[in-house]
Amino acid sequence: MGNGILMSFSRAGLVLFSLLASLTQANTLDIVGDGGRIKLVLAEGFLAADGQPLVHDGQPLGQQRIDVMSAAAKFWADHLIITEPIVINVRFADLLCSSGGAVLGSAGPAQVISDFVGAPHQGAWYPIALANQLAGRDLMPAVADINVRFNSRIDYGCMPGASWYYGVDAMSSPPGTFALYNTAVHEIAHGLGFTTMMDVSTGQVARGLVDHYMLNLSDVRGLSLSQMTAAQRQAAATSEQVFWAGEHARSVSQDITGIDRVRMHAPRELRRGSSLSHFSTSINSQAPAETMGPYFVSGSSLWLSMATLADMGWGLVRRSDYFVMAMSDAMPQVGRWVQVRAAVDVAGLEQAGKDQIHLQVTGGELKMEGVPQEACLKLAANAMRCSVAQLQQMDFDRLQIKVSVRFAAQGPARVVLAATDEQQMLSSSVTLGQDYYVDTRLDVRAALKHQQPETGSVSWWFFCGLVSVLLVFGLRRQGFLPKKH
């Protein structure tokens, strides 16, 4: 199934299927975002023998790589609720490269695990980064969660006329270059769980168990791949008729495109490491370019990926013009206190003429903790209000709110943060006893507004592989695209 050591063992009722990655404290970057913490373990390709960042042809190559990888990790730390830090091993290595094409990198979960306490579905594999969040603890603290590799030879002229582009936060790149940031964001998503563990060439599942991703895949009839035979899954993988069944991604697709059908990548020509583990190049007839497609188009966005991760079990950080909000537990239990953290742009609200901030819990209660009592008042067991003017008088241009909430019974529950007129409202919703739910449509519209593909730009595309099946890239210029093999 790829490079690494394949192991299976049982520990305290946990079944582990692992591609082991050793974890050390050396050369570790701690990336903190709105939703939690990601630790980057820098292996080869970042530092010289003296411990300083690599320099090549007078360019600060090592520092550029560090900056881009830090930015990509920060993106995910800002957008996902991460209660257990995610550890990513990242390295640059000499991978395949020639004038005709190059392997740019590879990525995937370092481990998958099943039957842990907190798993939404027993008898199913989960990538360890997600499993840790669902379990509320680090199930395997001695090893990393995600492995990522990139081709170091690209920087040394192995593919004439092509190079890495080290623009930080770059979703697009100049002609003839490969945007490392976009590639890294894409690859980390695979490590977070945007991949299936089954062998797409045979339809066989790993060690007889389905996986978290497969539970969200169905054919045109609505039959889940998790309920199919191996022969049926093998046929589905090349049918061009596999769809994402998760309600959140379908809802976002309906809202953005007017079509709730989300087609996945199942080309007639099987592509190991790519088939099923990406959106189709044609999600539907109205869909914008998606970063988690099998090919990368400069200027694409993650307009659908966030909702797909929510379908898998990830909690998402909510954000709007004035608010950022995250819940400490993506799947809270009835009667258990969980923390809600929010950042409020007080100065922006005042400039917009908003005079009050409201926070309310439906289906539960709240406790005020990290809020200034002089400006904020608890109105009821489930509601509080803060005065924008008083916060400004106290020199709060940006307010960090921390409250604890407890939900009373199974069923729908919400945490709502709103300005006076409720036109800038955020909500994180949960259904107790079921999967975590979050409405991502506000975020999607903002992403599309700011990340529309550039018209007339030269696009470069890649074929992406997972779990040590390598990424193969080609450069497209004025209609020329190397044949895909």
The interaxial angle of helices 247-257 and 441-450, nearest 10 deg, is 50
pLDDT confidence of residue 481: 23
* Strand 460-463, strand 472-475: pairing: antiparallel
**How sure is the predictor about 7, in pLDDT bands with cuts at 50, 70 and 90?**
very low
According to the model, what pLDDT value does residue 270 have? Answer: 94
Instruction: Please report the pLDDT score of residue 18 as a whole number.
Output: 40
Q: Residues near 179 by Cβ (< 8 Å), separated by ≥ 6? A: 165, 167, 170, 171, 172, 173, 298
Burial class of residue 170 in the structure, from the number of CB atoms within 10 Å of its CB (0-12 exposed, 13-18 middle, 19+ buried):
middle
Least confident of 293-302, 319-328, 331-340, 428-437: 428-437
Contact 388, 354 (CB under 8 A): yes
**What digits encode the pLDDT tens for the residues 213-233?**
999 999 999 999 999 999 999
Per-residue pLDDT, 416: 82
Task: Tell me if 63 sits within 8 A of 175, measured CB to CB.
Answer: no
Tell me what pLDDT residue 24 has: 45
- How many CB atoms neighbour CB 107 within 10 A? 31
> Of the given ranges (94-108, 336-350, 433-447), which has the lowest mean pLDDT?
433-447
Cβ atoms within 10 A of the Cβ of 286, count?
10
* Mean pLDDT of all residues in 129-145: 92
Kindly report which listed range (6-20, 192-206, 226-240, 250-264) carries the lowest average pLDDT score: 6-20
User: In angstroms, rounded to a whole number, what is the distance separating the alpha carbons of residues 125 and 108?
Assistant: 14
Query: Among 146-155, 203-212, 251-260, 323-332, where is mean pLDDT lowest?
Result: 323-332
First to last CA, the chain: 20
- Residue 102: pLDDT over 50: yes
| pLDDT surpassing 60 at residue 455 | no
Residue whose C-alpha is closest to residue 308's, from 280, 338, 335: 280
The pLDDT of residue 412 is 64
The residue ranking higher by pLDDT, 5 or 293, is 293
Residue corresponding to tokens 């509601």: 383
Please state, rounded to an integer, the average pLDDT across all residues of the chain: 79
Whether 80 has a pLDDT exceeding 50, the answer reads yes
Question: At how many degrees (to 10) do helices 305-312 and 247-257 cross?
Answer: 160
Average pLDDT rounded to a whole number, residues 311-332: 81
Nearest of 148, 154, 135, 156 to residue 19 by alpha carbon: 148
State yes or no: pLDDT of 466 exceeds 80.
no
Binning pLDDT at 50, 70 and 90, where does residue 199 land? very high
Q: Are 409 and 333 in contact (CB under 8 A)?
A: no
Whole-number Å distance between alpha carbons of 178 and 183: 8
The CATH number fitting domain 206-312+448-457, selected from 3.90.132, 3.40.91, 1.10.10, 3.30.70: 3.90.132
Q: Is the pLDDT of residue 473 over 70?
A: no
Q: What is the predicted pLDDT for the residue at 169? A: 78
Question: Does residue 262 register a pLDDT over 90?
Answer: yes
Q: 115: Cβ–Cβ under 8 A, 6 or more apart, which residues? A: 13, 14, 15, 122, 123
**Would the pLDDT of 123 be above 70?**
yes
The whole-number average pLDDT for the span 439-451 is 33
Q: Looking at 125-129, 204-208, 333-337, 439-443, which range is the least confident one?
A: 439-443
Query: How many Å is the maximal CA-CA distance in the chain?
Result: 68
pLDDT score recorded for residue 411 = 65
User: pLDDT for 341-388, tens place per residue?
Assistant: 888 899 999 998 888 998 888 888 898 887 888 999 999 999 999 999
Mean pLDDT of 179-196: 93
Residue 21 pLDDT level (bands cut at 50, 70, 90): very low
Q: What is this structure's pTM?
A: 0.80
277, 265 contact by CB (below 8 A): yes
Would you tell me which CATH number, out of the four given (3.30.1360.120, 3.40.190.10, 2.60.40.4060, 3.40.50.300), belongs to the domain 319-437?
2.60.40.4060
Domain definitions of the chain by residue range: 6-192, 206-312+448-457, 319-437
Q: Which of 187, 211, 215 is nearest to 197 (CA)?
A: 211
- Of the pLDDT bands very low, low, confident and very high (cuts 50, 70, 90), residue 72 is very high
**3-state DSSP of the chain:** CCCCCEEEEEECCEEEEEECCECCCCCEEEEECCCEEEEEEECCCCECCCCCECCECCECHHHHHHHHHHHHHHHHHHHECEEEEEEEEEEEECCCEECCEEECEEEEECEEEECCCCCCCCCEEEEHHHHHHHHCCCCCCCECCEEEEEEHHHHHCCCCCCEEECCCCCCCCCCCEEEHHHHHHHHHHHHHCCCCCCCCCCCCCHHHCEECCHHHEEECCCCEHHHCCHHHHHHHCCCCCEEECCHHHHHHHHHHHCCCCCEECCCCCCCCCCCCCCECCCCCCCCCCECCCCCCCCCCECCCHHHHHHHHCCCECEECCCEEEEECCCCCCCCCCEEEEEEEEHHHHHHCCCCEEEEEEECEEEEECCCCCCCEEEEECCEEEEEHHHHHHCCCCEEEEEEEEEECCCEEEEEEEEECCCCCCEEEEEEECCCEECCCHHHHHHHHHHCCCCCCCCCEEEECCECCCCCEEEECECCECCCCC
Q: Is 7 exposed, middle or buried (0-12, 13-18, 19+ CB in 10 A)?
A: exposed
Render pLDDT for 271-309 as a digit per residue (tens, 0 to 9).
888 899 999 999 998 999 899 998 767 778 899 999 999
Q: Could you report the per-residue pLDDT of 40-61, keeping only the tens digit for each?
A: 999 999 988 888 888 887 889 9
Q: Retrieve residue 182's tokens.
A: 């976009």
pLDDT score of 462 more than 50: no
